[in-house]
Structure 1
Amino acid sequence: MCELEVFSDSQCVKVNPDSPQKGVRLLTLTGGKKLLTPQPRLRTGFFSIVESGMLTPATIKEACTSVGVAKYGKPIGLDEKIKVDLIVIGSVAVDPKTGARLGKGEGFAELEYGMLRYMGAIDDSTLIVTSVHDCQLVDDIPVQKLLVHDVPVDIVCTPTQVILTNTKIPKPQGIYWEMLSPEKLSQIRILRELKRRIERETGKLLPCGPSEKLPPTAQRTSRPGKRAFSKK
Structure 2
Amino acid sequence: MEALLPKHCSSSPFASKHALNFPSTPRTKALHFPLLFNLEKSRNYSNAIGRQNDPTFDEVAYEAERLRLDSAARKLMAESSEKEAQDPEDPKAWKWTIRKRVWDLMEARNIAQFPRPVHHRIPNFNGSQLAANKLSELEVFKEATCVKVNPDTPQKQVRFLTLNGGKKLLTPQPRLRTGFFSILEYSMLSPSTIKEACTSVGVAKYGKPIGLEEKIKVDLIVIGSVAVDPKTGARLGKGEGFAELEYGMLRYMGAIDHLTPVVTSVHDEQLIDDIPVENLLVHDVPVDIICTPSQVIFTNTTIPKPQGIYWDKLSPEKLGQIRILRELKSKIERESGQKLPCGPSEKLPPTAQRKR
User: Is TM (by shorter chain) over 0.5?
Assistant: yes
Of Structure 1 and Structure 2, the greater helix share is in 2
- Structure 2 distance, partners of 1:96, 1:201, is 42
SS in 1 for 2:262: strand
Q: Give the CA deviation at 1:190.
A: 1.2
Deviating more after overlay: 163-172 vs 203-212 = 203-212
Q: How many residues align?
A: 217
- Structure 1 distance, partners of 2:203, 2:266, is 23
- Structure 2 distance, partners of 1:31, 1:123, is 24
- Structure 2 distance, partners of 1:57, 1:194, is 38
- Structure 2 distance, partners of 1:12, 1:110, is 19
Q: Residue 6 in 1 paired to residue 140 in 2? A: yes
Report the equivalent of 2:233: 99
Q: Give the CA deviation at 1:202.
A: 1.7
Report the equivalent of 1:147: 281
Report the equivalent of 1:191: 325
Q: Residue 161 in 1 paired to residue 295 in 2? A: yes
Q: Deviations over 1:112-137 (max 9, x none)?
A: 00000000000001000001111110
- Structure 2 distance, partners of 1:52, 1:193, is 31
Report the equivalent of 1:126: 260
Q: Residue 84 in 1 paired to residue 223 in 2? A: no
Q: Give the CA deviation at 1:201.
A: 2.1
Q: Give the CA deviation at 1:186.
A: 1.0
- Structure 2 distance, partners of 1:214, 1:77, is 24
Alignment partner of 1:173 out of 302, 307, 311: 307
- Structure 2 distance, partners of 1:211, 1:25, is 35
Report the equivalent of 1:22: 156
Structure 1 unaligned residues grouped into runs of 5+: 218-232
Letter in 1 for 2:308: G
- Structure 2 distance, partners of 1:56, 1:215, is 36
Q: Deviations over 1:3-55 (max 9, x none)?
A: 10000000000001111110100010011100000000001100000011221
Q: Residue 48 in 1 paired to residue 182 in 2? A: yes
Q: Please provide the CA RMSD for this pair.
A: 1.1
Query: What TM-score results when the alignment is normalised by the length of structure 2?
Result: 0.60
Q: Give the CA deviation at 1:185.
A: 0.8
Q: Give the CA deviation at 1:212.
A: 2.1
Query: For the pair shown, which has the larger CA radius of gyration, 1 or 2?
Result: 2
Of Structure 1 and Structure 2, the greater strand share is in 1
Structure 2 unaligned residues grouped into runs of 5+: 1-134, 352-356
- Structure 2 distance, partners of 1:201, 1:106, is 29
- Structure 2 distance, partners of 1:215, 1:45, is 17
